[in-house]
Structures are given as structure tokens and as C-alpha cells.
Structure 1
Amino acid sequence: MQVEKLKSLVLNALEDLKAKDVCELDVREASSVTDFMLIASGTSSRQVSALATNLVTQLKEAGVTPLSLEGLDAGDWVLVDLGDLLVHIMQPETRSFYDLEKLWGDFSLAEKQA
């Protein structure tokens, strides 16, 4: 599946269960691991797990199998690896602590300035 269609599918699945503060990062210049990251918040561990479960269900219905799914049981930070797209679903406290948007944004800027 093309990455744009995959992003659209992921965004729709996240919106279905009211994910908060969804952010897309283009990390093609900063990473050889993936091209894009989508970061979203859930209001509780239950919602984080439900968002991830709903996402995986919708992906499978579309014929897409995640390469990896990490953190589903804890519900603090779930990572869904789709190859060219990584999806991070976090509780707000965890998201604030790790601040992936700043981390990857700063890294991307440094790469462009070099």
C-alpha cells in the first residue's frame, strides 16, 4: 500500500476513537529507518490501547499487517511499525516527557542546515 493511502487509513482509524493532538512528521531526511511518523495522544491507558487495537484491526481489514506492535499491554506508549510509517500512540505525560516532535524536528533542521 502506498504511504499516502496508509497515512490516510491510520488517520481515519485514530479519528474514529477520538485521538488527541495528532501530528505528522516527515523524517525522510533524518532517518533511514522510516519516512514518516504519526504521533497521537489518548487520554488514558485504556484509550491508548483501544486506539492501537482499532488501528491494527482496520489495517488488517485493509490487508496490511504491521511489522511490529509494542506496548499494547501497558497502554502508556504503543508503537505500531508499518515500515515507511511509524505510529506512536501515547498518554499525554509520556508524550510530553519524550517530546518526539521536538527531538525529530530539531534533528531534521540540523540535517537540512548541514
Structure 2
Amino acid sequence: MQTEQLKQLVIDSLEELKGNDIVTLNVASSTSVTDFMMIASGTSSRHVASLAENVIVKVKEQGVKPLGIEGQGSEWVLVDLGDIVVHVMQPNTREHYDLERLWSDLPEDAEQEKAEEALS
């Protein structure tokens, strides 16, 4: 399955169970671990678990096996699909860790470090 198709499948899976604030971050230039991080919020631990489980079920139906699943039954579940890592969190956890800001700040930091190295 192509990455774009997988991204859309994840979005559809999250939207199907009313996942909130779904965001896709292109992190390919910042890390070799994955190309995209997708973040969504659930309203409770149960909702977070249901959202993540729906993603897992839908991708498996399409022949994609998750490489790893972390945090089942908690306020943050991570589903590693290789080119895409899906984070499903409760709003307070999402706000606390602020992955959107963390990953959006990295390219600028890396560019600044490169510029500083060039000057020294």
C-alpha cells in the first residue's frame, strides 16, 4: 500500500470513530525513523483505545501489519506503521507533550545548528 493511501486510510479510521483534531506532520527531513506522524485526540482513555484499535483493524484488513503498538489502555497510544506513526492521545496529554510544536521546531533548529557550524 502506498503511503498516501495509508495516510488516507488512517484518517478515515480516525474520523469513523469521531477522532478530534487530526493532524499530519511530514517529518521525513527531520528523522529517519518515519516519514509522517499523525496525531489525533480522543475524549477519554476508552475513546483513545477505540480509535487506535480501529486504525489497527482497518490497516490489517488492507494487509498492513503494524510494526509496534504502545500504550494500549492509557491516555496515549502509539501505532507504528513504518512510514507513518500514529499518536492517539487525550487532549491534556496532547497539550502537555505538544508534538506538533516539537516536530515543527526541529527543521529550524537543525538549520540554525548547520549555520552556526559553518561560521565556526
**How far apart in 2 are the matches of 1:69 and 1:38?**
14
- Give the C-alpha shift of residue 111 in structure 1: 2.9
Partner amino acid, structure 2, of 1:99: D
Q: What is the distance in 2 between the residues matched to 1:109 and 1:28?
A: 14
Larger radius of gyration: 2
How far, CA to CA, are the matches of 1:88 and 1:23 in structure 2?
10
Deviation at residue 27 of structure 1 after TM alignment: 0.5
Deviations 1:14-37 (A, max 9, x none): 000010001110001111111100
Question: In the alignment, is the contact (CA less than 8 A) between 2:40 and 2:89 conserved in 1?
Answer: yes
Q: Aligned-pair distance for 1:72?
A: 1.0
Separation in 2 of the partners of 1:92 and 1:73?
16
Residue identity (%): 56
Shift of 1:9: 0.5
SS at match of 1:32: coil
Question: 1:29·1:111 contact (CA, 8 Å) conserved in 2?
Answer: no
Q: State whether residues 20 and 41 of structure 1, in contact with CA within 8 Å, keep that contact through their aligned partners in structure 2.
A: yes
TM, length-normalised to structure 1: 0.95
2:23 is aligned with what amino acid?
C
Query: Per-residue CA shift, 1:63-86, capped at 9, x if unaligned?
Result: 111000111122x00000011100
Residue identity opposite 1:51 in structure 2: L
Moved over 6 A (4+): none
- Give the corresponding residue for 2:65: 65
Paired letter, 2:101: K
**Whole-Å Cα distance in 1 between the matches of residues 47 and 111 of structure 2?**
36
Supply the distance in 2 between the matched residues of 1:60 and 1:83 (Cα, whole angstroms). Answer: 13
Q: Once superposed, what is the RMSD of the aligned Cα atoms?
A: 1.0
CA contact (8 A) 2:34 2:85 kept: yes
Q: How many residues align?
A: 113
Deviation at 1:112, TM superposition (A): 4.4
1:28 touches 1:34 (CA, 8 Å); kept in 2? yes
